[in-house]
Amino acid sequence: MIEDVRPELPGLVGLPAIEHPELLAAPVADALAGWPQRDQVTVVEIDPAIADTAALVDAYDLDITASVNCVLVAGSRAGDERVAACLIPAHTRADVNRVVRRLLDVRKCSFLPQERAVAESGMEYGGITALGLPAHWRVLVDGRVQSVEAAVIGSGVRRSKLVIAGRVLAQWPGAEVIDGLGVE
């Protein structure tokens, strides 16, 4: 008998994400389909009106430290644009001006405009996640994310969230674990 290793959170009914592509953005469903750890990812359906972190945490009485936000940033050097998805604990903010700028090796780094983030990710604003983003975008994961037992992240759409162990999330293809990525 195979042990169920999908993480759970009180108050949220989780379903195997791979079996419910209708609750995921197409790029997320496609990316999960080819990932060996796909069986360790749960999807929970939520009211889209509470997709933003603060509303979700309040509605389900979740610990803010279980929530992981994804912010998209970009910078360029010598005409070469460099884009990264930063996965940070929700109670922090990405250190864009120091850590991310240095990692991307750019002079200036800024958040991707909402319209562009939505268009290029194929995901809804408020649901964007690192899973399923363009392969040439870097995925930077704050080191603290690895210790989150059941991390709540975007699913690519506002009407659901993914729940995944932080240590598993840090194993996403191309993920780079960076201590100090998020600052309080």
Write out residues in the chain with pLDDT < 70, as ranges.
Answer: 1-10
- What pLDDT, in 10s, does the model give residues 120-130? 999 999 999 99
Residue 138's pLDDT is: 97
Residue 13's pLDDT is: 80
- What pLDDT, in 10s, does the model give residues 27-45? 999 999 999 999 999 999 9
Residue 12's pLDDT is: 78
CA–CA distance, 50 with 101 (Å, rounded to integer): 31
Mind listing the domains of the chain with CATH numbers?
17-183 (3.90.960.10)
